[in-house]
Amino acid sequence: DTGVSQNPRHKITKRGQNVTFRCDPISEHNRLYWYRQTLGQGPEFLTYFQNEAQLEKSRLLSDRFSAERPKGSFSTLEIQRTEQGDSAMYLCASSLAGGPGSYEQYFGPGTRLTVT
Amino acid sequence: GENVEQHPSTLSVQEGDSAVIKCTYSDSASNYFPWYKQELGKGPQLIIDIRSNVGEKKDQRIAVTLNKTAKHFSLHITETQPEDSAVYFCAEMYSSASKIIFGSGTRLSIRP
């Protein structure tokens, strides 16, 4: 399967704990996006990378959230001191800049986070 | 501002009939309008898209129309089948480097 993959698929944690999610984009894609989706809503943008550079961050991304893409391939999203309001599906998407399909973002299956 | 309104929020149609979902957007700079289908427990799947220089695009049973003047765009599914049951999201982007702004979704149910 050469699509976007995310791990873990599910994570249950206690309030105050730190969690880290991983995203592996489609192999030749140089742009990587993180979105958050709560129940009954559309995904909301969090941040995006072009290669290893983080180019945009949403105001939704509080100081407790940090994302990295150290080698321009996979990315990690860490949430420190989790709160119940962080419970959501965290989605990763990737795209290929510069080509005719540069607008098309392809999503992974998501990581569902439950904070108890 | 960045906002996409989507209607209806739920839609139930008889198998074989057509389904139409409508969206409006506010940012006149937007020039790309994708539609995503999301099944339970899965990530959104890109099913069709349209650029601002095109008024209509069709792919088998699905079609999208865009009215840039009115800032409206719509998804049409003909000859609906049970596997079309899912949540559908319209969305907008203003450049290939930008984020996607999603609508709130339409839960489509196909009655047998």
Condensed to tens digits (0 to 9), the pLDDT of residues B70-88 reads 999 999 999 999 999 999 9
Answer whether residue B106 shows pLDDT above 80: yes
So what's the pLDDT on residue A103? 86
Per-residue pLDDT band for A100 (boundaries 50, 70, 90) equals: confident
pLDDT of residue B1: 56
Is B99 in Cβ contact with A45 (below 8 Å)? yes
User: How far apart (Å, rounded) are the C-alpha atoms in residues B108 and B28?
Assistant: 28
Taking 80 as the threshold, does the pLDDT of residue B96 lie above it?
Answer: no
Residue A108, φ and ψ in degrees, nearest 5: -85, 180
Beta bridge partners of B108: B11, B86
Partner B contacted by A95 (CB < 8 A)? yes
In a mutational test of the B interface, the residue from A34, A50, A89, A103 whose CB has the highest number of chain B CBs within 10 Å is: A103
pLDDT confidence tier of residue A1, bands split at 50, 70 and 90:
low
Who has greater pLDDT, B98 or A15?
A15
* Nearest residue on chain B to A98, alpha-carbon basis: B96
- Residues A71-90 pLDDT 10s: 889 999 999 999 999 999 99
Mean pLDDT, residues B86-102 taken together: 89
Q: What is the pLDDT of residues B20-70, one digit of tens each?
A: 999 999 988 899 999 999 999 899 999 999 998 889 999 999 999 999 999
Nearest-CB residue to B100 (from A45, A108, A109): A45
**pLDDT computed for residue B108 by the predictor:** 98
Peptide bond before residue B8 is cis, with ω within 30 degrees of 0: yes
Burial (Cβ within 10 Å: 0-12, 13-18, ≥19) of residue A99:
exposed
Residue A42 pLDDT grade (very low, low, confident, very high; cuts 50, 70, 90) = very high
